[in-house]
Amino acid sequence: MSARPTIVAMGGGGFSMEPDNPLLDDFILSLAGRPRPRVCFLPTASGDSDRYVANFYAAFARRSEASHLALFVRTVTDVEAFLLDQDVIYVGGGNTENQLAVWRVHGVDRALRIAWQRGVVLAGLSAGSICWFESGTTDSFGLDLDVLEDGLGFLPGSHCPHFDGEPQRRPAYHRLIAEGRLPAGYAADDSAALVFEGTELREVVSSRDGAAAYRVECVDGEARETRLPTGYLGA
């Protein structure tokens, strides 16, 4: 486990988006501090997609003690004990609002907070990165981006993934922050990851040269975007 509470929020990337580029996933595994860490996949946002789960095992089974937590057909009785026994919890993409609702029914939200506080590394992309913040942009309600207001709140402020990967993401995030509908926060390109220790941003890393993350704030009624220093993992 990590020495401090650690969250890796990926704008996009990892095994599901970059199957031939393991740099971000290798980085996440390195944070566990052991040669063969225990990694649990949470595919809730995809409705526990069988294909998504199979792709996870294909990517992780050879280099970790891989498992997953299914909630639509639940087989684990003690969710908290199961999650606390992991070194890394990796959350997949999909519908963020559905994911949060299902987690709260099964007590996963509470278990994740305890795991985070005890040093289990939390990571994920898209829905698996928005969820850690107070709020963010979401397509959970349809094709148009809207405000997600009820994130887990482990990290303060808002978040926008896929910043360079989907054309509507950047203008929508700017508009929502300028209008005061979202607080200041962080955006991340596909292939870029924000790494937090506790609630403080420690670094930004990327699996693609040129991918980056940004701090976005409202200044005098307009959104102001500041590119953050980013370390390319392939350098």
The domain that contains 14 carries what CATH number?
3.40.50.880
> Is pLDDT at 50 greater than 70 in this prediction?
yes
Q: Would residue 1 count as lying in a domain?
A: no
Domain span including residue 126: 6-232
Looking at 64, 126, 129, 191, which residue is catalytic?
A: 126
Q: Would residue 180 count as lying in a domain?
A: yes
Q: Would residue 61 count as lying in a domain?
A: yes
pTM for this predicted structure: 0.95
- Confidence (pLDDT) at 139: 86
Number of domains the chain contains: 1
> Is pLDDT at 1 greater than 60 in this prediction?
no
CA 216 to chain CA centroid, nearest Å: 18
Q: Would residue 90 count as lying in a domain?
A: yes
Q: Would residue 221 count as lying in a domain?
A: yes
154-165 pLDDT per residue, tens: 999 999 999 999
**Would you call 140 a catalytic residue per the annotation?**
no
Residue from 62, 110, 58, 118 nearest 88 by CA = 118
> CA of 85: how far to CAs of 35, 36, 43, 55, 65, in Å?
16, 14, 18, 22, 11
Hey, which residues does 7 pair with through a beta bridge? 122, 196
51-90 pLDDT per residue, tens: 999 999 999 999 999 999 999 999 999 999 999 999 999 9
- Confidence (pLDDT) at 53: 98
**Would you call 126 a catalytic residue per the annotation?**
yes
Looking at 162, 174, 206, 207, which residue is catalytic?
A: 162
- Confidence (pLDDT) at 52: 98
